[in-house]
Amino acid sequence: MKRIPVAGLLVTAMACALAQQKFGADGIAEYRKMLEDGNPSDLFEARGEELWKKKRGPKNASLEQCDLGKGPGVVKGAFVELPRYFADTKKVQDLESRLLTCMETLQGFDAAEIAKTPFGVGEQVSIEGLVAYVSAESRGSRFNLPQAHADEQKMYELGKRAFFYRAGPYDFSCASCHGEAGKRIRMQELPKLTSDPGDGVGFAAWPAYRLSSGEMWGMQRRLNDCYRQQRFPFPGYGSDVTIALGVYMGVNAKGAQSIAPAIKR
Amino acid sequence: MADPMRIRAQAADGKATVRVLMSHEMETGQRKDAAGNTIPAWHIQQVSARWNGATVMNAQWGPAVAKNPYLQFAVKGAKAGDKISITWLDNRGDNRTDEAVVS
Amino acid sequence: MQTRREILSGSASVAAMLAATGLLPRLAHAQNVPGYKASAFESKSIADAMAALGVAMPSESTDIRVTAPDIAENGAVVPVGAATSLAGVKSILILVEKNPNVLAAMFDVSDAVEADFSTRVKMGQSSNVFAVALMGDGRSLFAQKDVKVTLGGCGG
């Protein structure tokens, strides 16, 4: 009687076991799918809508006259056109810096104070709700950042240079992780951000609720953490370089569908 | 006062599927802060659901339920227009009740 | 029906009133909800949890369904479902074998709800996840699933 080698048996057994359980990309995809229904971002959206409409601050006013680029009070569709140039501030602004402008001019808050406030504290918590609400009002729309104004084009170029700028103790740039397709760190896929990485990916997936910390992260916080991971000094909140990176990624993502506020690891 | 829950209830096939998102830290009591002190446990301990005023579900939770908890269950016989209300109680004496209409 | 805004402003003013009278409970001192089965929720093993609840160790049954992902990207949030279509269920439990406290949740089943609950749990490490049904006739039945966790979810 022919005897089956033990080693061969073991290999077959292991192959069967592995086939029944999903690891790697399939397993992660199943995990993410199970969490799609019931995104805690909903809780932040509700808070944000409340904050948009509530009279607050020294001037006891709401944010309902805030111009996010499509006219005072127009929230629908505004998110997918940010960052963009604003005539009143003569600056290209992203969502967070524009919210600071409105919170200061309409409500009397001190924008510089909020910019210095650590994430998760004080008015930074209000910003979490507001970015969730504003981005939710553009969910499903496609990115279409304007590039007509000279400053918008300049910021794109600045963003590109910042993206490829290597520095810090490990000589990392954004491109080190996001400059090529098919890269990953452990189980996290790293989208290529020098061109459109697709619907709901990269720039199109933030703000997002991070399950690992149970926190709502806007793009400013996401970039802050990127710089931390690159061992760079933290960028100023709402600073030109962070806005420029938003312009670069956002213009590259033209046509991609926003799924914000999304859910992330 | 805690933030409101998001409750969705949909009727189909002779029952209403209820999906709830609650806003709560669900602190386990296992973590330590920067100074090395244990952060005290702070979590929802009891959840109950009412259908048109009558209690239909009671649950007890430990701290291992995730932060900003999600819950899904089904009420047999509930139909569009019925009211579902959910209440939670935590170990700090805080509570929250929210209601939704079955669609 | 009240709008969300009305509910919020109503509860906020009640809270403000209570805070002014000093009747709101102090945050520092935790107190269990009356009837909370604290010893069960502090149990360190499945056996201890069952003993604390005064029920028999469960036996495996194909009539119990546990739903969970094979691998969780982060242990802080792991979706778990526990269900059975058997009649006569009193309670449905979800337990995570390797958690510091194994009992995660306990649902009482009335005639008006299905014995089918989904929630999300924290898992400190890869572990077996158990769905247990406590039956009205005294039996306890379980199903289990091995869930791998890439990043433990109980820490900071």
DSSP A17-55: HHHHS--HHHHHHHHHHHHSSS-THHHHHHHHHHHHHS-
Q: Are the Cβ atoms of A211 and C77 closer than 8 angstroms?
A: yes
Structural domain of C133: 38-149
Whether residue A180 is contained in a domain is answered as yes
Compare CB distances from B67 to A38, A39, A214 and report the shortest one's residue.
Answer: A214
Q: What is the pLDDT of residue C113?
A: 97
Rounded distance between C-alpha atoms, residue C131 and residue A128, angstroms: 36
Distance of CA B1 to the CA centre of its chain: 15
Rounded distance between C-alpha atoms, residue B4 and residue A50, angstroms: 11
Q: What is the value of pTM for the model shown?
A: 0.84
Dihedral angle over CA of C32, C37, C42, C44, nearest 10: 180
Which of A41, A62, A212 to mutate against chain C (most C CBs within 10 Å)? A212
Which residues in chain A have Cβ-Cβ distances shorter than 8 Å to C70?
Answer: 21-23, 27, 30
Whether residue A166 is contained in a domain is answered as yes
Longest dimension (CA), chain B: 54
State how far residue A241 is from chain C, nearest Cα, in angstroms: 30
List all residues 6 or more positions away from A91 whose beta carbon is below 8 Å from its beta carbon.
Answer: A85, A97, A151
The CA–CA distances, whole Å, from A17 to A10, A13, A30, C61, C150 equal: 11, 6, 18, 21, 19
**pLDDT of A242 above 90:** yes
Which residues in chain B have Cβ-Cβ distances shorter than 8 Å to C79?
Answer: 70
Count of domains forming chain C: 1
Return the partners of chain B (3 or more C-beta pairs < 8 Å). Answer: A, C
CATH number of the domain to which C120 belongs: 2.60.40.2470
- Angle value at C-alpha A215, between A214 and A221, nearest 5 degrees: 150
Q: Are the Cβ atoms of C105 and B65 closer than 8 angstroms?
A: yes
The CA–CA distances, whole Å, from A1 to A9, A11, A173 equal: 16, 21, 63
Both tokens of A141, joined, read: 């729309």
Structural domain of A220: 39-264
Compare CB distances from B101 to C1, C81, C121 and report the shortest one's residue.
Answer: C1
Whether residue C10 is contained in a domain is answered as no
Q: Residue-wise pLDDT tens for chain C (156 aa)? A: 555 554 444 444 454 444 444 444 444 457 899 999 999 999 999 999 999 999 999 999 999 999 999 999 889 999 999 999 999 999 999 999 999 999 999 999 999 999 999 999 999 999 999 999 999 999 999 999 999 998 655 433
Q: What is the mean pLDDT of residues A132-147?
A: 98
- For chain B, which ranges sit under pLDDT 70? 1
Rounded distance between C-alpha atoms, residue C39 and residue A72, angstroms: 57
Phi and psi, residue B57, nearest 5°: -150, 135
State how far residue C148 is from chain A, nearest Cα, in angstroms: 9
Rounded distance between C-alpha atoms, residue B71 and residue C83, angstroms: 13
Return the bridge partners of A142, or none: A257
Q: Which helix (H) or strand (E) holds C51?
A: helix C46-53
Which of C33, C93, C97 to mutate against chain B (most B CBs within 10 Å)? C33
pLDDT category at A158 given cuts 50, 70, 90 is: very high
Whether residue A229 is contained in a domain is answered as yes
pLDDT digits (tens, 9 = 90+) for A184-226: 887 778 999 999 999 999 999 999 999 988 899 999 999 999 9
Whether residue C89 is contained in a domain is answered as yes
Q: What is the pLDDT of residue A22?
A: 60
Rounded distance between C-alpha atoms, residue C133 and residue C141, angstroms: 5
Amino acid at A146: P
Whether residue B1 is contained in a domain is answered as no
The CA–CA distances, whole Å, from C14 to A217, B91, C17, C125 equal: 31, 20, 5, 42
Distance of CA C72 to the CA centre of its chain: 18
The tally of CA atoms less than 13 A away on the side-chain side of residue B56 is: 23
Q: What is the mean pLDDT of residues A100-122?
A: 97
Do the strands A208-210 and A262-264 form a parallel or antiparallel pair, or are they unpaired?
Answer: parallel
Per-position DSSP letters for A234-260, written without gaps between them: PPPTT-HHHHHHHHHHHHHTTTPBP--
Taking the alpha carbons of A81, A86, A92, A96 in that order, is the dihedral positive or negative?
A: negative
Rounded distance between C-alpha atoms, residue A192 and residue B92, angstroms: 46
Structural domain of B86: 6-101
Rounded distance between C-alpha atoms, residue B64 and residue B27, angstroms: 9
Whether residue A11 is contained in a domain is answered as no
Q: What is the pLDDT of residue A185?
A: 81
Q: Are the Cβ atoms of A53 and C8 closer than 8 angstroms?
A: no
Q: Which helix (H) or strand (E) holds A15?
A: helix A6-20
CATH number of the domain to which A167 belongs: 1.10.760.10
Verify cis geometry, omega within 30 degrees of 0, for the bond prior to A235: no
Q: Are the Cβ atoms of B3 and A37 closer than 8 angstroms?
A: no
Count of domains forming chain A: 1
Those of residues 76-95 in C touching chain B at CB distance below 8 A are 76-79, 81
Three-class DSSP category at C58: coil
State how far residue B74 is from chain A, nearest Cα, in angstroms: 15
Which of C110, C111, C129 to mutate against chain B (most B CBs within 10 Å)? C110
CB atoms under 10 Å from CB of A201, counted, come to 18
The mean pLDDT of chain A is: 91
CATH number of the domain to which B96 belongs: 2.60.40.10
Whether residue C1 is contained in a domain is answered as no
pLDDT digits (tens, 9 = 90+) for A24-67: 678 888 898 899 889 999 999 999 999 999 999 999 999 999 99
Q: Are the Cβ atoms of B64 and C78 closer than 8 angstroms?
A: no
Whether residue C7 is contained in a domain is answered as no
Whether residue A6 is contained in a domain is answered as no
Q: What is the pLDDT of residue C21?
A: 45
State how far residue C59 is from chain B, nearest Cα, in angstroms: 23
Whether residue A23 is contained in a domain is answered as no
**pLDDT of A132 above 70:** yes
Q: Are the Cβ atoms of C112 and B72 closer than 8 angstroms?
A: no
Phi and psi, residue A106, nearest 5°: -85, -40
Instruction: With beta carbons less than 8 A apart as the criterion, state whether A75 and A224 touch.
Output: no
Whether residue B26 is contained in a domain is answered as yes
Q: Are the Cβ atoms of A265 and C8 closer than 8 angstroms?
A: no
DSSP A217: E
**pLDDT of A19 above 70:** no
Q: Indicate which residues of A carry an active-site annotation.
A: 226
Count of domains forming chain B: 1
Which residues in chain A have Cβ-Cβ distances shorter than 8 Å to B21?
Answer: 38-40, 42-43
CB atoms under 10 Å from CB of A255, counted, come to 11
Return the partners of chain A (3 or more C-beta pairs < 8 Å). Answer: B, C
Three-class DSSP category at A264: strand
Whether residue C72 is contained in a domain is answered as yes
Q: Which residues of C touch A (CB under 8 A)?
A: 4-5, 8, 69-74, 76-77, 79, 120, 146, 148, 150-151, 153
Q: Are the Cβ atoms of A31 and C8 closer than 8 angstroms?
A: no
Q: Are the Cβ atoms of C30 and B51 closer than 8 angstroms?
A: no
